[in-house]
A and B are shown apart, each in its own frame.
Chain A
Amino acid sequence: MNLDFDFAAEQPKLVQLLLGVVAFCAVVALLLLLLGGAPAQPRSRPLAATLLLRLLGPAPTRARVRLLLPLSRLLGRVPVRQRAWPQAAVLLAPALVLLGIGLVVPAVRTTVLSFMNGDGTAWVGLDNYAWMFTQPEAVTVLRNTLIWVLLVPVLVTAVGLLYAVVVDRTRFESIAKSLVFLPMAISFVGAGIIWKFVYAYRPEGSDQIGLLNQLVVAFGGTPQQWLLEPPLNTLFLIVVMVWIQAGFATVVLSAAIKGIPAEIIEAARLDGASPLQMFFRVTLPSIRSAVVVVLVTQSIGTLKLFDIVRTMTGGQFDTSVIANEMYNQAFRYGETGKGAALAVFLFVLVTPIIVYQIRQRREAAR
């Protein structure tokens, strides 16, 4: 076995890493410097501010913040109009520049391409959109995407929430969470292999190599080809997605549950709430925003999903979804226009979520 490992060859990479980290520190320091130069407020009470921040210490804890809140209220507030623009600009500049280059320009380009033909040489008007809604497979693809986006966020949140609640503050919590988190650490390719194994089919009478069919046989059933029968096969693919993403939900929701103020729980307990009441009346409302975060990120992630479908069925057997079709058209078939039209349709599908977000912002502002 050849174990030699050429450190000299790796050195330039590590130097590059170092450069990257140094650049990172420099950028962050520069931004903070720019911010520090412009005080948020005329220094009316510098002493009080210093005191407050010193009391808070380098790592504020909940207890200390709670303690300081009345104090800071005592110190009073002076409503002063300030010019926030320069500071906002400094804070937002890196993100906006990167987003502009990396996502806004591509989004605009995609929209333009969706009105052009396959190799982007001629305008074709709405032909690509017409193609999208008239091809017989479109209905299937849209139906599948709908099933995915309705089921995945709900299932992921439900499993994550349930699990986060039942393992909360148990002795094995850390291990339990790691177990559910494990699938998140496995790449989509790895997950594809795992689940191909689970769904594998061998004829009746011979050794099964797929776990699911082995179980079916053990209970006296006949082995099935799980991924071949629409529309059930879409559900089997959804299981894979839920399996991967439940860890995300568990981690986020568990953190939120731990943030529920003790007073609320105490009060509910004194009122004699049953565990179920406690969950629906206390826990759920208290972590509403975390649940929304999970639902929203999962919805968007599901809309964009294509790895699972691509590695497991390649979109065959009526399992294709919009993102998979888009990738095929734009890159494999060289039909950039059609792929772009599908991508634009994805933008459109997310509008309800955006509208919901706008509403939320309005309510919060009130």
Chain B
Amino acid sequence: MTTVPSTVTAVRPAAGSAAGRVRKRLTNRTASAVAIVIAVLWTTPTFGLFLSSLRPEDQIKSTGWWTFFSDPQLTLENYQEVLFGTSSSSGQMASFLVNSLVITIPSVLFPLAFAAFAAYALAWVSFRGRNWVYIGIFALQVVPLQMSLVPLLSFFSEGVSVFGTQILPAWELEGPARFAQVWFAHTCFALPLGVFLLHNFMSELPGELMEAARVDGATHGMIFRRLVLPLVAPALATFGIFQFLWVWNDLLVGLIFAGGTADSAPMTVRLAQMAGTRGNEWQRLTAGAFVSVVIPLIVFLSMQRYFVRGLLAGGVKG
């Protein structure tokens, strides 16, 4: 590895030299070979899809994508159809892209905040039954999403009534207000995993620090905002990214709660529609998959420094 010396000097001296040694030990030839093998294995299928998305329909179906190298034939037709193909039923992709963004942003923010609050309470506020609340939330992770669709939908469209008495009215949302339903649904489904992940990181923060702050008269609000949040930022970023990906790529929740029209449906719904009634237009899905990958990738790359910054928790604990 020629990169060895440069990276050693690049890291901070205190933590760096030690960590650098680990890397030096591990980054021998075998290690880099392993890294390259995994990277190639993981990238090749995606690369194949990418090449396929640029090939004409009949070629996709008759020859392998590697024939491109001997017989390069490229077309942007698939992308053209996906991006600009007009359809009276659904409008253009841009409209669905906006929908996806409108759905995704609050669907990431709400669970992030609520899960962080709950995780903090479960980790650092001592009250009776704390363990059981935590175990309960944890266990909810296993409730299959599909089983929640019908009850949640009837909660929106019929409200709540017990023995014939209406307790909560139906939401009766029209137009863009329907997005609120989707946010609500995504937030519900994301909470168990979010609380579990964030609790895991929060509970590893050093107890002395919390206690000291508390002793000194800080309120839970202050501790949470000024001490805990900055310390678990990487964990928040991690969960935020996964929630973003999950919502962005979700089809089922969008289909049920946002409907299938350009007014509110996300991109995934549109892509599924583009497969054609008998699933015969799937060459467009290859291009569609790439179009929908772009934004998550940008988000990931721009958030990556938070991961790289590392989790302070473990370090402080030792």
Query: Which residues of B sit under 8 angstroms from A303, Cβ to Cβ?
Result: 142
When each residue 174-189 of chain A gets 1 if its CB lies under 8 Å from chain B and 0 otherwise, what string results? 1011111111111111
B18→A184 contact, CB < 8 A: no
Query: Which residues of A sit under 8 angstroms from B200, Cβ to Cβ?
Result: 289, 293
Query: Which residues of B sit under 8 angstroms from A37, Cβ to Cβ?
Result: 219
Q: Does A122 contact B (CB under 8 A)?
A: no
B311→A259 contact, CB < 8 A: yes
Query: Which residues of B sit under 8 angstroms from A168, Cβ to Cβ?
Result: 19, 22-23, 26
B126→A84 contact, CB < 8 A: yes
A279→B26 contact, CB < 8 A: yes
Closest to A53 in B: B226
B217→A43 contact, CB < 8 A: yes
B174 to chain A, nearest CB (A): 11
With A95-B191, A102-B188, A209-B64 as given contacts, are A171 and B219 in contact (CB-CB < 8 Å)? Answer: no
Those of B114-140 within 8 Å (CB) of chain A = 114-115, 117-118, 120-122, 125-127, 130-131, 133-135, 137-140
Query: Which residues of A sit under 8 angstroms from B187, Cβ to Cβ?
Result: 98, 102
The 3 closest A-B pairs by CB, nearest first: A102-B188, A49-B216, A258-B310
**Whole-angstrom CA separation of A355 from B48 in the bound complex:** 43
Q: Does B280 contact A (CB under 8 A)?
A: no
**Whole-angstrom CA separation of A303 from B200 in the bound complex:** 21
Query: Which residues of A sit under 8 angstroms from B109, Cβ to Cβ?
Result: 21, 24
Q: Does A136 contact B (CB under 8 A)?
A: no
When each residue 153-187 of chain A gets 1 if its CB lies under 8 Å from chain B and 0 otherwise, what string results? 00000010011011111111110111111111111
**Whole-angstrom CA separation of A263 from B221 in the bound complex:** 33
B311→A275 contact, CB < 8 A: no
Residue in B21, B241, B268, B308 whose beta carbon sits within 8 Å of that of A258 in the complex? B308
Q: Does B42 contact A (CB under 8 A)?
A: yes
**Whole-angstrom CA separation of A278 from B25 in the bound complex:** 9
**Whole-angstrom CA separation of A31 from B189 in the bound complex:** 21
B206 to chain A, nearest CB (A): 7
Closest to A355 in B: B135
With A15-B176, A297-B193 as given contacts, are A53 and B18 in contact (CB-CB < 8 Å)? Answer: no
Query: Which residues of A sit under 8 angstroms from B45, Cβ to Cβ?
Result: 183, 194-195, 197-198, 211, 243
B289→A91 contact, CB < 8 A: no
Query: Which residues of A sit under 8 angstroms from B249, Cβ to Cβ?
Result: 185-188
Q: Does B161 contact A (CB under 8 A)?
A: no
With A58-B230, A185-B297, A209-B64 as given contacts, are A52 and B212 in contact (CB-CB < 8 Å)? Answer: yes
**Whole-angstrom CA separation of A42 from B150 in the bound complex:** 48
Q: Does B57 contact A (CB under 8 A)?
A: no
Among B25, B122, B143, B197, max chain A CB count under 10 A is at: B143
Q: Does B88 contact A (CB under 8 A)?
A: no
Residue in B6, B15, B293 whose beta carbon sits within 8 Å of that of A186 in the complex? B293
Query: Which residues of A sit under 8 angstroms from B75, Cβ to Cβ?
Result: none
B105→A17 contact, CB < 8 A: yes
A182→B297 contact, CB < 8 A: yes
Residue in B15, B18, B231 whose beta carbon sits within 8 Å of that of A65 in the complex? B231
Q: Could you jot down 8 A-B contacts, CB within 8 Å?
A: A20-B106, A62-B316, A169-B20, A176-B39, A178-B297, A180-B39, A266-B17, A358-B131
B106→A357 contact, CB < 8 A: no
